[in-house]
Structures are given as structure tokens and as C-alpha cells.
Amino acid sequence: MTVELKITVPREREGERLDLVLSAAPEVGSRAAAQKLIAGGHVRVNGKNQGKSYRVSAGEQVDARLPAPAPPELVAEPMDLKVIFEDEYLLIVDKPAGVVTHPARGHDSGTLVHGLLGHQIAGGDHPRRPGIVHRLDKDTSGLLIVARDDATHRRLTRMMASHDIDRTYLALVHGRFEAASGTVDAPLARDSASRQRMAVAHGRGRPAVTHFEVLRSWSGVTGKPGGAGNGSSPARDGFSLLRVKLETGRTHQIRVHLAAIGHPVAGDKLYGCRDKLAVGRQFLHSARLVFRHPRTGEIIDVSSPLPGDLVKVLDNLGGTLNLELIATACCKL
């Protein structure tokens, strides 16, 4: 992959050497690098190759093809991670909120992958994402499966595609529901107005299906000390705690689907509204995974309780909840 650089020679640089003009571009950075590009035939002036000492004229177009910088080598980093299950083929980790799943633009360190390299994760075609079968958003907490070899990675990937891995999430959303359960079946694609967002896109999106069950609703905010409201009047639309089951696994699927039906996830700054409960992140937690082990055939059934920051939000809403039961109960959908 290469980077295309285009420079229109300004009048104040007329008569300067080509290598000097090119070196002024931040993407090139030095005269030696500019000369190397020119010598390699990667630079053209008005469509023609020129030597490094060529004197440019104002208005001429300088086009350069720069090789993409090699990504930094993955290096294991110490990270306090909770591994729920592991054997020679795979592991299941309870990812904390605030941790990016794998390296990406702007995240060359501090990711879950960096923290798991010491656990001999492997598998997949992407060298920067060894073992990663599925991902959780940075501010979503909970359970994630990671492979330790190519064969296991391939099998887990097929299982994800064929919906043979049961994934249950807990989400607190704005508003109350008339029905006890529901399904959102709406295709998703990148938002044409913002590459950071996904959107419901009928006719051009990929199929996406989300099931949900209402566990508890609140008609307003109690205003307990430290909670949302702080003595203000109850929230007009209230909140609902949902158990959510993914049938497909598209980027931001739960968040987009729930926002699309008028019930954005509490604390979700990208798809939601004002954080009335001071959650500090989206209230979304990967609470349970159930699947047949791709190599041994045993049933793997693991759960993760709500982390402390999300428990505090529910405490501030008021009422009693059996959080252990919520975390371990099967989704009935």
C-alpha cells in the first residue's frame, strides 16, 4: 500500500531544486528521503520523471508515491487482565472498559492484544490481530474469545458466521418499553456522513439482527447522592435494563439498533443523548458466552458480572436487582 502525495509548486519556491521542494513535505521529512524517492522513480513533475536537481516552476504539479510506513512490531505489555477460561486452543478474557481490542490507527500500544501476547495467542490473516475472532468497542466491557492457533481461529470464525456462539449482553437504555421483548432486524452500513458511525441502511447495508428482553424499568431518576438528577425531577422517559442477544455481529450493532428504535444506550456519546446518569461510558457489557468448544466438543458456558461502575449506576437508580441472576441467566429469546 502506498501514500499518494501531490504538491503544487508555489510561486515563492520557483527555481528551487526538486529534492529540496519535496523534502519540505512532512510526509517526506528530509532531503535524503526525497532523493531516494526521486532515484527510485517514484516522483513525477507534470507527469514526467525528473532528476533531483531539476529546477521547478511555479504551478507545476509534483506527484510522489510514498511507501506506507511499516506498522510497529507487536510487543507484549504488562496488563492486569482477567482470563475466565483457557486451554491449549483458546482463551476467554473479561475485557475492562477503556481498552481497545486490537491495534488500529492511533492505537499502536495498550490494546488487549498487547496485553495477551504473553498468553501465546495466534491465528487469523491479520498480523496485527493475532487470535482475535470478534471484538468489543473500547468502552464496552465483558467477555471476548481469543484463539491460540490458526485451526481454532478458522473454526471459531465459522461458528460466529453461522450463529453457533450465543452472546448475551446487558444494556441500560433510555426510555421504557410497552412490550417485554423485541427484535430489531435492520441492515447496517457506514454512515455516509461520518466514517466513525454506523447507520441503518436499507438496500445497501449488511444484514443485522438484535433480540432484546426487558429485565427492569425505571420511571424516573431518584436523585440519590452521587447519582443522576441530584435532587432534580424524575427523568421524563425513564430507563430500562435489557438483556440483549446478538444474532449477527456488526460494528456497533447493539448501539445503532437500540438508538434506531428510540432507546439509545445510556452514556453512549456517539449514538445517544445527554448522559443523564453520569455513566461515563456506554452502559453495555458482554455478560455471557455459550458455545461448543471447536476442538474438544465440550460446552463452554461462562459469565461475567456487571463491573462496579455499572453496578453503581443501577444502585443510583434505586430498587433491588439480583445482579448475579441477571449475569448468569440464559437469554430466553
Q: Which has the closest alpha carbon to 284: 156, 119, 172?
A: 172
The residue that leads in pLDDT, 82 or 110, is 82
pLDDT for 74 equals 81
> How far apart (Å, rounded) are the C-alpha atoms in residues 244 and 128?
30
pLDDT for 186 equals 96
Look at 18-27, 150-159, 204-213 and tell me which has the smallest mean pLDDT: 18-27
Q: Which has the closest alpha carbon to 73: 135, 137, 128, 113?
A: 128
> How far apart (Å, rounded) are the C-alpha atoms in residues 51 and 2?
21
pLDDT for 232 equals 34
> How far apart (Å, rounded) are the C-alpha atoms in residues 86 and 99?
20
> How far apart (Å, rounded) are the C-alpha atoms in residues 172 and 311?
11
pLDDT exceeds cutoff 70 at 331:
no
- The model scores a pTM over 0.85: no
- Per-residue pLDDT tens digits for 131-140: 999 999 999 9
Look at 91-95, 176-180, 182-186, 203-207 and tell me which has the smallest mean pLDDT: 203-207
Query: What nine digits make up the cell of 24?
Result: 519540505
The fold for domain 74-162 equals: Pseudouridine synthase (3.30.2350)
**What mean pLDDT is predicted for residues 278-297?**
95
pLDDT for 220 equals 65
pLDDT for 323 equals 62
Look at 9-18, 61-70, 142-151 and tell me which has the smallest mean pLDDT: 61-70
- Buried residues in 161-176 as b, exposed as e (16+ CB within 10 A): eeeebebbbbbbbbbe
Instruction: Report the mean per-residue pLDDT for the chain.
Output: 87
What secondary structure does DSSP assign to 19-60, as a single string?
Answer: HHHHHTSTTT-SHHHHHHHHHTT-EEETTEE--TTPBP-TT-
pLDDT for 163 equals 92
Q: Locate CATH 3.30.2350.10 in the chain.
A: 74-162, 165-333
pLDDT for 268 equals 95
pLDDT for 173 equals 96
The fold for domain 165-333 equals: Pseudouridine synthase (3.30.2350)
Q: Is residue 137 flagged as an active site residue?
A: yes
Q: Locate CATH 3.10.290.10 in the chain.
A: 2-67
pLDDT for 102 equals 87
pLDDT exceeds cutoff 50 at 231:
no
Q: Which of 19, 137, 139, 268 is catalytic?
A: 137
pLDDT for 105 equals 72
CA 269, 272, 278, 284 torsion-angle sign: negative
Listed in sequence order, the residues at least 6 apart from 322 whose beta carbon sits closer than 8 Å to its beta carbon are none
Q: How many CB atoms lie within 10 A of CB 111?
A: 23
**What mean pLDDT is predicted for residues 196-216?**
93
The residue that leads in pLDDT, 180 or 325, is 180
Phi, psi of 194 (to 5 degrees): -155, 120
pLDDT for 96 equals 95
Arch. (CATH architecture) of 2-67: Roll (3.10)
pLDDT exceeds cutoff 60 at 226:
no
Phi, psi of 107 (to 5 degrees): -135, 70
pLDDT exceeds cutoff 70 at 218:
yes
Tell me how far apart the terminal alpha carbons of the chain are, to the nearest angstrom. 45
Which helix (H) or strand (E) segment is 90 a member of? Answer: strand 90-95
C-alpha distances in angstroms, 31 versus 11, 39, 312? 20, 12, 57
pLDDT for 109 equals 78
pLDDT for 267 equals 94
pLDDT exceeds cutoff 60 at 325:
no
**What mean pLDDT is predicted for residues 29-45?**
91
> How far apart (Å, rounded) are the C-alpha atoms in residues 11 and 3?
25
Specify which residues 292 forms β-bridges with.
299
List, in sequence order, every beta strand (DSSP E) within 110-193: 141-147, 165-174, 181-185, 188-191
